[in-house]
């Protein structure tokens, strides 16, 4: 309608409306009528956006690595950015240039510069394992970049999805890693076997120490038993010595008693002999016939015996004497 157009933008778009080179209106999420032949509209998105990147770099050991990731950023000063890049849209709100892609590429260039300065001091293995450090390096590099500041951009985050070597080097590293892991496994097996041997030696030493302790205890018990036996033998010996001494003392007492009894009997015998001697001394000069008469022994058999004794004493004076058995029998019978 005679060149007038209505246009509407969302709340995440910063709009600058120029008319005849002058700013007519400016703000976020605007909608308005404008006269197309004399109007120029700049639409700059102010929401966060992602800039994915992938590029190759060389490490200190001259190996090529591929760095892949993305940068999340937002436009903090859209008016300043509009002075550097062309974000003009047509009457339908579509960009008329590709300057927005240039913005992303400039961020990626800054990231690649920071990455190159970081990886040139790293070897291949260090580069592959430096994703976290690389994220910090890129973020700091973009944040401190004068070009990014002039563009009015603010980085939100940097994510490194991977740092990869070439397929040939990846296979070589896999082989090296596999061999290293196998070596670690062998060392683990050796360590486990060594530990098992150490444990077995410890157990054997413990068992041997236990056996030594048991034998030492047995030896101590045997020594105690031997000491007890020796003590018992000494006690038995002392007891026997005491018994022998007691027996000797008893025998000595018995010997003394027997000697005393013998002395007493000898004294009694001497006394009796002396008494008999005194008694017999009175009859020493007396005839036996007188003694028998004094004693009054009138026994017939005794008289017969005395008669035969007289006959025997005076046998030289007797011529013939006949004593028949009948006579002896009669004499003995009479005497009885």
pLDDT band at 279 (very low <50, low <70, confident <90, very high): confident
How far is residue 86's CA from residue 88's CA, in Å, rounded to a whole number?
6
Q: Is the pLDDT of residue 305 over 70?
A: no
Q: State pTM to two decimals.
A: 0.50
Segment 315-332, tens digit of pLDDT: 666 666 666 777 666 666
CATH 1.10.1060.10 fits 47-165, yes or no: no
> In which residue are the tokens 């778009």 written?
13
Interval 87-91 mean pLDDT: 85
List, in order, residues 6 or more apart from 162 with CB less than 8 Å away: 66, 67, 68, 69, 131
Query: What are 133-177's pLDDT values in tens digits?
Result: 999 999 999 999 888 888 888 999 999 998 888 888 878 877 877
Q: Quick one: which of 294, 316, 320, 293 has its CA closest to 306? A: 293
Among candidates 62, 55, 78, which has minimal Cα distance to 162?
Answer: 55
End-to-end CA distance of the chain: 212
| Selection from 333, 278, 329, 324 nearest residue 300 by Cα | 333
Q: How many CB atoms lie within 10 A of CB 336?
A: 7
**276/114 Cα distance (integer angstroms):** 162
**Crossing angle of the two packed helices 300-313 and 288-295, in degrees rounded to 10:** 170
- With a cut of 70, say whether residue 10 has pLDDT above it: yes
Contacts of 112 (CB under 8 A, 6+ apart): 53, 55, 57
Q: How many residues can be counted in the chain?
A: 336
Q: Give domain limits for the chain.
A: 47-165
- H-type helices in the chain, by residue range? 78-84, 99-119, 124-128, 131-143, 146-150, 167-282, 288-295, 300-313, 325-335
- At residue 28, what are phi and psi to the nearest 5 degrees? -100, 140
Check whether 250 has a pLDDT greater than 90. no
The total of other beta-carbon atoms located within 10 Å of residue 273's CB is 10
Q: Are 40 and 72 in contact (CB under 8 A)?
A: no
- Position 159 scores a pLDDT of 93
User: Is the four-CA dihedral 203, 204, 207, 210 of positive or negative sign?
Assistant: negative
Read off the pLDDT of residues 97-131 as tens digits, 9 standing for 90 and up. Answer: 888 888 888 899 999 999 998 988 888 888 888 88
Question: Which percentage of the chain shows pLDDT scores above 70?
Answer: 83
Residue where the block lists tokens 């703000």 = 27
- φ, ψ of residue 11 to 5 degrees: the values are -75, -15
Q: Rounded distance, CA 205 to CA 249, Å?
A: 63
**Residue 101, number of CB atoms within 10 A of its CB:** 11
Burial 23-36 (b: 16+ CB within 10 A, else e): eeeeeeebebebee
Mean pLDDT of the chain: 82
145 CA to centre of own chain: 61
């Amino acid at each position: 309608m005679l060149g007038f157009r209505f246009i509407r933008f969302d709340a995440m778009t910063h709009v600058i409306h120029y008319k005849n080179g002058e700013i007519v209106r400016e703000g976020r999420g605007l909608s308005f009528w404008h006269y197309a032949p004399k109007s120029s509209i700049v639409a700059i998105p102010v929401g966060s956006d992602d800039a994915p990147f992938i590029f190759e770099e060389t490490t200190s050991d001259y190996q090529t690595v591929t760095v892949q990731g993305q940068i999340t950023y937002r436009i903090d000063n859209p008016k300043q950015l509009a002075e550097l890049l062309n974000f003009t849209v047509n009457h339908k709100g579509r960009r008329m240039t590709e300057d927005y892609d240039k913005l992303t590429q400039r961020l990626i260039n800054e990231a690649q510069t920071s990455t190159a300065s970081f990886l040139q001091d790293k070897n291949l293995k260090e580069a592959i394992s430096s994703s976290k450090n690389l994220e910090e390096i890129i973020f700091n590099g973009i944040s401190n970049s004068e070009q990014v500041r002039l563009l009015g951009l603010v980085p939100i985050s940097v994510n490194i999805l991977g740092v990869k070597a070439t397929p040939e080097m990846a296979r070589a590293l896999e082989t090296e890693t596999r061999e290293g892991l196998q070596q670690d496994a062998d060392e683990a097996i050796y360590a486990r076997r060594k530990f098992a041997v150490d444990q077995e030696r410890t157990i054997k030493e413990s068992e041997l120490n236990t056996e030594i302790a048991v034998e030492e205890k047995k030896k101590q018990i045997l020594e105690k038993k031997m000491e007890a036996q020796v003590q018992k033998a000494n006690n038995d010996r002392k007891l026997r010595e005491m018994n022998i001494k007691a027996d000797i003392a008893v025998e000595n007492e018995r010997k003394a008693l027997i000697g005393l009894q013998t002395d007493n009997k000898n004294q009694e015998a001497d006394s009796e002999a002396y008494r008999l001697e005194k008694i017999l001394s009175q009859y020493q000069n007396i005839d036996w016939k007188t003694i028998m008469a004094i004693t009054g022994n009138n026994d017939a058999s005794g008289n017969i015996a005395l008669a035969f004794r007289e006959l025997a004493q005076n046998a030289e004076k007797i011529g013939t004497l006949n004593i028949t058995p009948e006579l002896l029998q009669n004499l003995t019978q009479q005497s009885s």
